[in-house]
Chain A
Amino acid sequence: MRVRRSADLFAPPLPTRTPPAAPLKGIAPPSASPAAAPAELWLGVQVAAGAKQTGPDSPPALRHLATLAQRFTPRLSLEPPDGLLLEVKGSLHLFGGVDGIRREMARECARCGLRGTLALAPTPLAALTAARADRSLLVLDPAQLIGQLSPLPLAALRWPQKLLERLASIGVRTIGQALRLPRAGFAQRFGAAQLGELDRLTGRVSDPRERFEVRTRFRRRRELPCELENHAALLEALGPLLTALEQFLESRQCGVLELECRLWHRGCPPSRCALRLAAPLADARRLAELIGERLGTLALPEPVRACELRSGLPVPRVPSSAGLWQPGEHGGLSEAHSPRLIERLRARLGSDVVKGLAVLEDHRPEAAWCVREPGACSEVAHCRPLEGGLGSPASRPGAPRNAARPRRPLWLLPLPRRLTERDGLPRYRGGLRLLGEPERIETGWWDGAEVARDYYIALDTHGRRLWLFRERHPPHRWFLHGVFG
């Protein structure tokens, strides 16, 4: 007996492994755990949401409440659909103790038009469960936690209804009754996940929570001292706004991917110039450079009275260290330099003009490639093993990479072009001479874009090699589909 107790005292509580030495012991941790002051104190809030929202996203009212509640603590997590958890141990003394913080939180709830139930407990799940059971529990001592939780109904844990019914059928309706069940049997009969939840409830294992953070956007407007029409002067007027944006982003270690600049006029709707960036950016000078490119193409209907800068959502940015060499020098940077070119081209020509290329695993030529973000790896091509066919020698094990690959032209026409015929042979600005054997591509019946074609390589009168196909089905028309560059 003595041996077992000492083992209970000193053995670290393990979450999922059931201790085989104590088959009759309940789920609850030994009551003789050291009665120290709790390391954490969680405030669980359950708001009576008017409309029941069961979507994956938390309702806006709850997000709003969470935003307001950020003044109590930075450690705050959303428990959709209707719960909120705050770790308030460190801020109790700032709000006049437990009573003060409960009063303040209730006021915040009222301000949002919500009725909240508040419960304080040393573990987050206990606080949340108590709040969900509509009990304004106040547990400051971890030793009292289990005793206080015991009368709560199991339904407050929001387990599946079926499981609750099974537990009820063996007479287990409250948390206390569930905690008295043997661990091994409980895990076996009702699931290890539920056992883990009970362990988190009682503080036997730690319970990390995802932190809620408000992602604010930057939005600032500046009235100009005089009306401006000159693009260069406008860019200068935007300077303070851009500097403010840079500070805003720097302090959050973020960058923007989208930025909109609005120019307000006296008599007509504001001119907008939107910027989309390839990589998160926070540098005011480079932003000014890009906006300058964009402004250069913008026609202003009237002089500008005020300008406004609105950012998209800030995106986490990893600041990179600058290169030792200047870009122009030998060994100068290239990787870090490259988004600049893309951004500059996009700023001037439009955001969807600059693209990268990738190969898709498909035998149909028009479906064998796609555009994507420049620099994105084309991982698709080699990861999916397909059964060896015409277009997939790369995926055939053991085949040399280029040995069995059929000939493909360097240029593809966006749409196959119909060719005229004479005596059953195609013509393209003169007669064509067909070379070699045809290659049959007959596939795609599963997605409605079925093709059945015989592809030929043909030589035209100038010696160019063209890629033609003839439809397999009547009317057997000829089409030009590619040019060997």
Chain B
Amino acid sequence: MSSDFSECGAALLPQEDRPQELARLLAHPFIWRAGHAARTQAWPTGFPALDEGLPGGGWPRSGLIEILSSRFGMGELALLMPVLATLTCRAGARWCAWMAPPLQPFAPALEACGIALERMLIVRGAPHARRSNHKELWAFEQALGSGACDIAFAWARQPPPRQIRRLHLAAQRGGTLGVLFRPSWAAREASPAVLRVTVEPLAGGARVRLLKSQGGARGAIELKWASQAALAGHP
């Protein structure tokens, strides 16, 4: 072990450029690189193009991600339908929690996407939603941290960054994928979420832009909605 480290020290001396030496050094199991993300466990997104761009090849299994869109209903939920179908239909599926969804999730459409409805847990928002934002965040944190959910959705207007950090830690504790839907102007703010993407609609699909993905690719990815997902707007 000690000889290994002394070797490292020798290699780091800026004496001369030795690329093969550097490659050997980087192959050392004690060195982790930021771009090397194979260690994150992920759920396949159902879109091969997106899987390639994401670290670990899919949505992370635990932690908080943010999906930003300029308006409600730009395809941000359709993006998650394939993973929802795999998560709810597998053996030992946990809950899929919806924290105060802005509209009613339409059960026949969800079922048409192949989602097992008995795993859905809808937490209705307070009727006077403006004030009780903290209640929804509390419920979201409970769902994330309890370990009883595979995935949990929340629509937050303006959560403080400290809260987001809390949510992220809760999601890691509970082994839950937390999805926070936010307006696209939130892209200007920093966020502790592990993954941030924006969604824009395209004809029969969507363009997903990766804003922040730890160790994943950058840039835009164009997706086509699966035809059977009952989402294709074009005949």
Say yes or no for A327: interface residue by CB 8 A criterion: yes
A344 CA to B174 CA in the complex, in Å?
15
Say yes or no for B219: interface residue by CB 8 A criterion: no
Candidates A358, A457, A462; contact of B117 at CB < 8 Å: A358
Q: Which of B84-121 contact A (CB under 8 A)?
A: 92-95, 97, 101-112, 114, 117-121
Residues of B contacting A365 in the complex (Cβ-Cβ under 8 angstroms)? 106, 108
Residues of A contacting B159 in the complex (Cβ-Cβ under 8 angstroms)? none
Candidates B101, B102, B231; contact of A484 at CB < 8 Å: B231
Say yes or no for A411: interface residue by CB 8 A criterion: yes
Q: Which of A356-372 contact B (CB under 8 A)?
A: 356-359, 365, 368-371
Interface size grouping (class) on chain B: 35 or more
- Name A330's closest neighbour in chain B (CB-CB): B175
Distance between A389 CB and nearest chain B CB, rounded to angstroms? 13
Q: Which of B124-169 contact A (CB under 8 A)?
A: 124, 135, 138-139, 142-143, 146-149
Say yes or no for B235: interface residue by CB 8 A criterion: yes
- Name A457's closest neighbour in chain B (CB-CB): B233
Taken residue by residue from 385 to 418, chain A's Cβ proximity to chain B (1 for < 8 Å, 0 otherwise) reads as 0000001000000000011011111111110000
Instruction: Given A334-B92, A337-B146, A371-B122, verify A357-B231 contact (CB < 8 Å).
Output: no
A253 CA to B123 CA in the complex, in Å?
32
Q: Which of A148-204 contact B (CB under 8 A)?
A: none
Instruction: Given A341-B143, A357-B120, verify A409-B200 contact (CB < 8 Å).
Output: no
A260 CA to B235 CA in the complex, in Å?
57
Say yes or no for B78: interface residue by CB 8 A criterion: yes
A402 CA to B226 CA in the complex, in Å?
12
Distance between A87 CB and nearest chain B CB, rounded to angstroms? 44
Distance between B94 CB and nearest chain A CB, rounded to angstroms? 4
A410 touches B95 (CB 8 A): no
A405 touches B112 (CB 8 A): yes
B94 touches A463 (CB 8 A): no
Candidates A348, A353, A370, A375; contact of B124 at CB < 8 Å: A353
Say yes or no for B228: interface residue by CB 8 A criterion: yes
A338 CA to B97 CA in the complex, in Å?
11
Instruction: Given A349-B135, A369-B107, verify A484-B121 contact (CB < 8 Å).
Output: no
- Which one, A220-228, A307-315, A376-384, is touching chain B? A376-384
Candidates A341, A414, A462; contact of B146 at CB < 8 Å: A341
Candidates A353, A435, A463, A466; contact of B235 at CB < 8 Å: A435
B123 touches A345 (CB 8 A): yes
Say yes or no for B202: interface residue by CB 8 A criterion: yes
A359 touches B111 (CB 8 A): yes
A349 touches B95 (CB 8 A): no
Candidates A349, A407, A485; contact of B77 at CB < 8 Å: A485
Instruction: Given A410-B105, A414-B103, A485-B73, verify A356-B118 contact (CB < 8 Å).
Output: yes
Say yes or no for A57: interface residue by CB 8 A criterion: no
A355 touches B118 (CB 8 A): no
Say yes or no for A483: interface residue by CB 8 A criterion: yes
A365 CA to B106 CA in the complex, in Å?
8
Known: A377-B118, A483-B72. 14 other contacts (CB 8 A): A334-B94, A338-B95, A345-B139, A355-B122, A355-B124, A357-B107, A359-B107, A369-B106, A371-B122, A407-B230, A407-B232, A414-B103, A457-B233, A485-B77
On A, residues with C-beta under 8 Å from B are 327-328, 332, 334-335, 337-338, 340-342, 344-345, 348-349, 352-359, 365, 368-371, 374-378, 381, 391, 402-403, 405-414, 435-437, 457, 459, 462-466, 482-485
On B, residues with C-beta under 8 Å from A are 70-78, 81, 92-95, 97, 101-112, 114, 117-124, 135, 138-139, 142-143, 146-149, 173, 175, 200-202, 228, 230-235
Ordered by A's residue number, 14 sampled pairs between the chains whose C-beta atoms are within 8 Å are A334-B93, A334-B94, A338-B95, A344-B146, A352-B124, A356-B117, A357-B110, A358-B107, A358-B117, A408-B108, A408-B112, A411-B104, A484-B75, A484-B78
